Structure 1
Amino acid sequence: MSDHAFQLLAIIIYMLAMVIIGWYAYKRTTNLNDYMLGGRDLGPVVTALSAGAADMSGWLLMGLPGAIYAAGLVEAWLAIGLTLGAWLNWLLVAPRLRVYTQVSKDSITIPSFLDNRLRDNTKLIRIVSGIVILVFFTFYVSSGMVSGGKFFESSFGFDYHTGLLIVTVVTVGYTLFGGFLAVSYTDTIQGLIMFLALVLVPIVGVFVTGGIGETVSSIKAVDPQHFSLFASATAAGVISSIAWGLGYFGQPHIIVRFMAIKSVSETKQARRIGIGWMILSLLGAMGTAIVGLAYFQQNGQVLDDPETVFIVMGQILFHPFIAGIMLAAILAAVMSTISSQLIVTSSALIEDMYKALFKKDASDKHYVMAGRIAVFVVSIIAAILGWNPDSSILDLVGFAWAGFGAAFGPTILLALYWKKLTNIGALVGMVVGAVVAFVWGQSEALSGMLYEIVPGFLINLILAVVVSLITYKPNKDIEKEFDDTIELLKSEKK
């Protein structure tokens, strides 16, 4: 068998495994709560790894190693910011969101939680939140499909559109039928594949490059400042990179995992697993870049595209079949994010728009079928948007992260920790925060000075507090739910 045949065999086995897991989840999905939230029965390992896999996407295996390879550890500030943000998200949001969403009318989506928590009789928060999720995640899903098409084109010489269709059909298939459980189970396997691949490449690579001492010497021969966190760094650049961590509080496809974990007591274990996975994976990505740079320096070679360092080192260091598993890790990163975003988009469309505005008394079977139709429709639109390989949709990924963080982040934190947040305060803050992030991001002068999530997040926070103080009226139901949540948290932590 040729090298390409071995690698393709590994990809086929991986994709078949994803389909089988999807079928297993389909057999366990009986109602809307199962389809949208897995019946709130996820264990800490599945919760942690699926959240991590949904979060990282292809950036972890290609973007970060490429940046470290090209510019050095000064690019690690983004990883530091994301790790800090993820840790705070697990610490501050996970336990309260798990309890509060159940106390507040058993809410199964972020928009429905905000609607129930704030007693928004106008339904505006639910609808606006649903629209924001629907629009941005459709583009976000599309960008993932574009990445999948380019993956098969560059790795196996497939036609771009063929690659896009393969990724779309497999991912949509297990998401459509298996729902949230399928997404969570497949994300867990994908997270493990990503982790093992990122740990193996630098460990094996450092032996090939002659050990740690020789590797460091080779790197310094290329750039004496390569290991410096501060070389060429600016204060605004460091702040902007660390500020990416603010985005976690408002990412629906990540925080929905907190709502699905079996109990509050398991969030601590899940946090340790999730952050451990994240730190080791990020270190593996940076280590891959370092051993890759040392290897090419020692062999007098030049890597044309730094973002391919993980792929190339995997092919150099391992048997073609193992290298194929390394390639599957990249595909896993792409597919895990697509599937997570698809199920949240479907939830927003059905639970927060269709169900809230039209059908209120239909059976669970009806809503589950509607959810599957929503996944299919959104996937078709996303595939059409991504059909052009030169599409600028990929440019929206950074904005989508900032937009969600600025729109939902402060709102979620205030809803969980401040009793006086009002529906008007939340709505004004959410809309203005998203608009500020958008406008700031469109200005090269402003975005070059500071990442748009910072002004968007802060203005949302300030407006939500000020408007809430102006419009606040005591509500016994809201106060009781808030107090009940605190009491349940205390009892479950004992």
Structure 2
Amino acid sequence: MDADQIFKLIAIIIYFAAMIAIGLWANLRTKDLSDYMLGGRGLPPFVAALSAGASDMSGWLMLGLPGALYVTGLADAWIAIGLTVGAWLNWKFVAPRLRTYTEVAQNSITIPSFFDNRLKDRSRMLRVVSGLLILTFFTFYVSSGMVSGGVFFENSFGSSYRAGMLIVAGVTVLYTFFGGFLGASYTDMMQGLLMMTALLLVPILGIFAVGGPAGMVESVTSVNPNALSLIAGTTVVGVVSALGWGLGYFGQPHIIVRFMALRSAADATAGRRIGIGWMALSMIGAIFTGLIGLAYFTQHPELTLADPEAVFLAMTQILFHPLVAGFVLAAVLAAIMSTVSSQLVVCSSALVEDLANMILKRDISPRNQVWLGRLGVLVVALIAGALAWTQNDTILALVAFAWAGFGAAFGPAVLLSLFWRRYTAAGALAGMIAGAIVVFTWQYTPWSSLYEIIPGFIANLVIGITVSLVTPAPDVDEEFSQAQQLAKAGRF
């Protein structure tokens, strides 16, 4: 191993040690399942906003999105636009209501338990199906994070893909195992700051390396004349599909669980401003990283980039001293690990709170519940690792499928639960199943060029409303009004 590699490795080890230390600190503050799964509902808006953003973006922000821009140009920036709009709407309308209603509805600490309590589902099928959907789609999502980890170490240190995957998975599981939700949230906050800093530094220095804005434009357009156009090379279906990513926010359990953990509904306003500011800066940095990377490799034909999704990694190592590069590269690990840790906690909660407690049908001590949660983290990590063992898809493709699954299955259910008192358990169950089925089967239809989240979301919405109108309304008037008033008191 040469000196450059040693410098980078030192930075990565320091980063790993800091994440594990935060996880162990969080373990000292974890006494029961509510602490392990929701941090005792005491999350400050700054922590909630950055942890929601970091757990949302994952490796695709620093690997998948710059890679897509590198290949196609600004045509793929529609995804970033759709996501930013969706995130703003989610913070504005969902966050305050979900914070109050989950507490009013028997202090629900998971999304499935909220559906169960909010809709008065006596059959408990809604909770079981929700828990199973979480486990199914998050297994694919966690798998995409492990693929990102393998790609990272393969491109940054020349290690094997599998060795890199195992290192990232092992460290993430370790601090999530002990720290739970609180550990994941505070590590996500630190990782979010690291990600944004890296995504700003790379394009700022990179623009000088390619001869300024004029040099970038000339080089990029010489290889792809349409690279700087949002319209050229796109189709209406393509733009609608990209914007449709924004629909996914309403149903992502690992993101909206941060809303449930806020100290109060009033904190949603500050959270929105911080979160969207962070997101806008990070997205702009990722977009320019892809374009500047294309310009740089066009100007230096002696260099090759085998994998477009590694353009951020390559530019980092070109622009920075190895030690600084190591900390910038750690931002990629931050993006990967922040998402994986949050998803593991939600999977754990689905296994313990929504499935195990119902199956065992007996009281479990708070300490044993926490250990069951930790066991859930290990089980999901092992299955996801098995799926990621052989890299057989792009990071963006894996994320797109899981994102669509959650958006279509849970998005309409969350919105209707919060804003329509007539919504029923039967409508929610039928809509969720319909949305999930559409996502799984849409690729086999003649219209598969349209992103599956859109037809899945619509199917869930239409069926959920229709079935609710023909089934008895739940007795929730008092709870619904109370949650509504509390949300408004928080300046909703």
Q: Could you give the per-residue CA deviations for residues 429-462 of structure 1, whole angstroms, max 9, x where no partner exists?
A: 111111112111344x3212x1111111111101
Unmatched segments (≥5 aa) in structure 1: none
Secondary structure (helix, strand or coil) at the match of 2:62 reads coil
How much does 1:192 deviate?
1.0
Residue of structure 1 in register with 2:427 after alignment: 425
**1:105-184 mapped onto 2 (5 Å cutoff):** 105-184=106-185
Contact 2:427 2:463 survives alignment (8 Å): yes
**1:429-448 mapped onto 2 (5 Å cutoff):** 429-443=431-445, 445-448=446-449
Contact 1:407 1:429 survives alignment (8 Å): yes
Q: Which letter maps to 1:123?
A: R
1:483 pairs with 457, 481, 488, which one?
481
How much does 1:390 deviate?
4.1
Residue 389 and residue 75 in structure 1: after superposition, are their counterparts in 2 closer, same or farther (change >3 A)? closer
CA distance in 1, matches of 2:328, 2:394: 28
CA distance in 1, matches of 2:126, 2:371: 25
Residue of structure 1 in register with 2:345 after alignment: 343
CA distance in 2, matches of 1:163, 1:300: 29
CA distance in 2, matches of 1:161, 1:212: 39
Secondary structure (helix, strand or coil) at the match of 1:62 reads helix
CA distance in 2, matches of 1:255, 1:157: 37
Residue of structure 1 in register with 2:47 after alignment: 46
Q: Which letter maps to 2:115?
A: L
2:384 pairs with 382, 385, 409, which one?
382
Say whether residues 1:277 and 2:278 are aligned partners.
yes
Residue of structure 2 in register with 1:322 after alignment: 324
CA distance in 2, matches of 1:78, 1:34: 35
Contact 1:303 1:309 survives alignment (8 Å): no
Contact 1:54 1:333 survives alignment (8 Å): yes
Residue of structure 2 in register with 1:368 after alignment: 370
Residue of structure 2 in register with 1:263 after alignment: 264
Secondary structure (helix, strand or coil) at the match of 2:447 reads helix
Residue of structure 2 in register with 1:12 after alignment: 13
CA distance in 2, matches of 1:188, 1:326: 16
Contact 1:26 1:177 survives alignment (8 Å): yes
Contact 1:136 1:400 survives alignment (8 Å): yes
How much does 1:21 deviate?
0.5
Residue of structure 2 in register with 1:455 after alignment: 455
Residue of structure 2 in register with 1:493 after alignment: 491
Contact 2:23 2:176 survives alignment (8 Å): yes
How much does 1:83 deviate?
0.9
Q: Could you give the per-residue CA deviations for residues 225-254 of structure 1, whole angstroms, max 9, x where no partner exists?
A: 321110111111100110111111111111
Residue 246 and residue 324 in structure 1: after superposition, are their counterparts in 2 closer, same or farther (change >3 A)? same
Secondary structure (helix, strand or coil) at the match of 1:446 reads coil
TM-score by length of 2: 0.96
Residue 479 and residue 245 in structure 1: after superposition, are their counterparts in 2 closer, same or farther (change >3 A)? same
Secondary structure (helix, strand or coil) at the match of 1:26 reads helix
Name the stretch that deviates more: 79-88 or 341-350.
Answer: 79-88
Residue 319 and residue 246 in structure 1: after superposition, are their counterparts in 2 closer, same or farther (change >3 A)? same
**1:217-296 mapped onto 2 (5 Å cutoff):** 217-296=218-297
CA distance in 1, matches of 2:119, 2:472: 11
Secondary structure (helix, strand or coil) at the match of 1:493 reads coil
Q: Which letter maps to 1:479?
A: D
Residue of structure 1 in register with 2:309 after alignment: 307
Contact 1:421 1:472 survives alignment (8 Å): no
Q: Which letter maps to 2:15?
A: Y
Secondary structure (helix, strand or coil) at the match of 1:237 reads helix
CA distance in 2, matches of 1:168, 1:306: 23
Name the stretch that deviates more: 136-145 or 58-67.
Answer: 136-145
How much does 1:396 deviate?
4.3
Contact 1:34 1:181 survives alignment (8 Å): yes
RMSD of aligned C-alpha atoms? 1.8
How much does 1:391 deviate?
7.4
Q: Which letter maps to 2:74?
A: L
Residue 329 and residue 438 in structure 1: after superposition, are their counterparts in 2 closer, same or farther (change >3 A)? same
Residue 117 and residue 53 in structure 1: after superposition, are their counterparts in 2 closer, same or farther (change >3 A)? same
CA distance in 2, matches of 1:436, 1:168: 31
Q: Which letter maps to 2:245?
A: W
**% same residue:** 58
How much does 1:393 deviate?
9.7
Contact 1:142 1:393 survives alignment (8 Å): no
Residue of structure 1 in register with 2:200 after alignment: 199
Name the stretch that deviates more: 160-169 or 413-422.
Answer: 160-169
How much does 1:299 deviate?
3.6
CA distance in 1, matches of 2:465, 2:90: 21
Residue of structure 1 in register with 2:84 after alignment: 83
Q: Which letter maps to 1:6?
A: F
TM-score by length of 1: 0.95
Residue of structure 1 in register with 2:35 after alignment: 34
How much does 1:472 deviate?
2.8
CA distance in 1, matches of 2:373, 2:421: 33
CA distance in 1, matches of 2:484, 2:151: 48
Contact 1:420 1:469 survives alignment (8 Å): yes
Contact 1:386 1:393 survives alignment (8 Å): no
CA distance in 2, matches of 1:228, 1:100: 44
Residue of structure 2 in register with 1:186 after alignment: 187
CA distance in 1, matches of 2:202, 2:287: 11
Q: Could you give the per-residue CA deviations for residues 2-48 of structure 1, whole angstroms, max 9, x where no partner exists?
A: 11111111111111111001011001111111100011111111111
How much does 1:392 deviate?
9.1
Name the stretch that deviates more: 289-298 or 85-94.
Answer: 289-298
CA distance in 2, matches of 1:180, 1:271: 20
Residue of structure 2 in register with 1:66 after alignment: 67
CA distance in 1, matches of 2:448, 2:393: 22
Contact 2:120 2:474 survives alignment (8 Å): no
Name the stretch that deviates more: 408-417 or 330-339.
Answer: 330-339
How much does 1:300 deviate?
4.3
